[in-house]
């Protein structure tokens, strides 16, 4: 399993649009992708659970990827979080 620690830097956090972007991208990988925030661990391929996790500006999260393309997936998802601007 590959983990990446990232901080949410876009002012509105992972709400509908950025969240959807994340999920769409996550689904392009074969690996399972999860987001961990504090004691919550949610499926990174489900927009509904991602939004309900309440991930917002300044939150420090961990991206976990597990599967055949886990390193590429973890890197790509961490990069995406870092480049959100909305």
**Active site residue ranges:** 15
Selected from 2, 13, 70, 76, the binder of another protein by CB under 8 A is: 13
Residues 45-84 that bind another protein (CB under 8 A): 46-49, 51-52, 54-58
Stretch of 29-37, 39-47, 65-73, 74-82 lying at the interface with another protein (CB under 8 A): 39-47
Contact status: 20 vs another protein (CB under 8 A)? yes
In the complex, what is the shortest distance from the CB of residue 55 to another protein, in angstroms, rounded to a whole number? Answer: 8
65 φ, ψ to 5°?
-125, 135
| 19 makes contact with another protein (CB under 8 A) | yes
């Amino acid at each position: 399993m590959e983990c990446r620690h990232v901080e949410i830097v876009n002012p509105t956090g992972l709400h509908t649009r950025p969240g959807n972007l994340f999920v769409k991208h996550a689904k392009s990988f074969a690996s399972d992708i999860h987001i961990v925030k504090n004691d919550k661990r949610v499926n990174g391929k489900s927009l509904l659970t991602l939004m309900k996790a309440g991930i917002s500006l300044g939150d420090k999260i961990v991206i976990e990827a597990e599967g055949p393309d886990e390193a590429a997936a973890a890197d790509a998802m961490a990069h995406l979080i870092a480049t959100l601007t909305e």
